[in-house]
């Protein structure tokens, strides 16, 4: 019965297609084909992984099919909650077995920053595409190692830059590229919040690789680059620490930093774990401006320009991100703003330079 029904449905589509002009017939048959779905496993089952998993329920092109965790009880909970097959669930010690699993296409690494490199390398070695949460690593050298490993393994590497797909953000970036703000010479990025639990991994340098800069400051770094449409050539930075007990050695509490660009544009930014209500971007040009607040939170993003407010509808960022990443990995789509490993390395080079500027008090030149 199923085969007969499928035959009749196919025959019906073919008859309909034949009744259309040739070009329309091809388009109709093409659109009627089922799109491939990216089958994803999440590695690291913390709070952000839960956010991604919930968002993926609404994805059209991406599906959660497995998990990787160092905590067996979490694996069991996720299996039950999301209906995951046992064969698609792994521990950190069994990642190599992914190579034999044909039902997983990509792994999203959402573990603490210092674990990104070993985990991304393990996934790449197992022959699966790597999606790595930002920052991609704890320094640029590690980032380059990840890029090289993925290239050698013949897998693709993407970084979790969800804002690169957010509608209002893209609208402003496209307006800037079209010259609607005139010559843009100033960007301000404010990124911060008051961090809570002092025992969490973000305040443990061995796991985080740093403090606020490695967590929230990267948004202003990345934002300056995509909002101005240039790569910085120098950086200066200053650090302030009011609580050396909570923010120990190697954990930055607050850093203000400045970036200089080839056009003469300047970015003035703040990264902190000690202030709330700072999620703001401002771009100023000779003909107008753009402002966003909140600018990088989970949404909705509020944005306006000299011409008035933007009103792109809010869609859960991670839903859009995973659908778009499926199109990149499965269809070869080129996103308007890059999310590849090279993009991740560029941010890490700037972070390295910011820390060097803090340490030396000097202006640090960035690689061209």
Q: ∠ CA 342-343-349 to the nearest 5 degrees?
A: 85
Domains of the chain and CATH, by start: 38-160 (3.40.50.720), 163-314+340-365 (3.30.360.10)
pLDDT (tens digit per residue) in 323-361: 999 999 999 999 999 999 999 999 999 999 999 999 999
pLDDT value, residue 1: 45
Residues of the chain with pLDDT under 50: 1-32
pLDDT value, residue 65: 98
Cα 1 to Cα 241: distance, rounded to the nearest angstrom? 72
pLDDT value, residue 13: 43
pLDDT value, residue 33: 56
8 Å CB contact between 120 and 146: yes
- Residue 241: how many CB atoms within 10 A of its CB? 15
């Amino acid at each position: 019965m199923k085969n007969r029904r499928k035959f009749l449905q196919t025959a019906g589509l073919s008859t309909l297609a034949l009744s259309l002009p040739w070009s329309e017939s091809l388009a109709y048959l093409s659109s009627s084909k089922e799109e491939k779905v990216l089958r994803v496993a999440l590695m690291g089952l913390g709070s952000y992984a839960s956010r991604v998993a919930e968002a993926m329920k609404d994805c059209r092109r991406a599906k959660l099919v497995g998990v990787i965790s160092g905590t067996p009880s979490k694996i069991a909970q996720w299996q039950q909650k999301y209906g995951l097959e046992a064969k698609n669930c792994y521990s950190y010690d069994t990642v190599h077995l992914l190579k034999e699993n044909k039902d997983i296409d990509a792994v999203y690494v959402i573990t603490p920053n210092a674990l990104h490199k070993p985990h991304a390398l393990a996934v790449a070695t197992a022959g699966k595409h790597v999606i790595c949460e930002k920052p991609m690593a704890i320094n640029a050298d590690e980032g380059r190692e990840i890029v090289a490993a993925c290239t050698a393994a013949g897998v693709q590497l993407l970084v979790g830059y969800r804002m690169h797909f957010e509608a209002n953000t893209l609208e402003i970036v496209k307006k800037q590229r079209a010259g609607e703000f005139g010559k843009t010479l100033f960007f301000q990025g404010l990124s911060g919040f008051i961090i809570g639990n002092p025992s969490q991994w973000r305040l443990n340098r061995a796991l985080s690789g740093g403090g606020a800069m490695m967590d929230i400051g990267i948004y202003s770094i990345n934002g300056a680059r995509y909002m101005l449409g240039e790569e910085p050539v120098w950086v200066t930075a200053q650090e302030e620490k009011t609580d050396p007990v909570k923010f120990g050695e190697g954990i930055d509490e607050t850093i203000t930093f400045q970036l200089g660009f080839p056009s003469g544009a300047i970015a003035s930014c703040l990264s902190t774990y000690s202030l709330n209500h700072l999620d703001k971007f401002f771009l100023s040009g000779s003909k107008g401006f753009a402002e966003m607040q909140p600018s990088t939170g989970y949404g909705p993003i509020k944005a306006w320009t000299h011409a008035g407010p933007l009103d792109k509808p809010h869609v859960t960022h991670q839903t859009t991100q995973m659908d778009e990443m499926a199109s990149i990995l499965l269809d070869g789509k080129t996103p308007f703003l890059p999310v590849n490993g090279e993009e991740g390395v560029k941010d890490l080079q700037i972070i390295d330079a910011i820390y060097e500027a803090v340490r030396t008090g000097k202006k640090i030149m960035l690689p061209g």
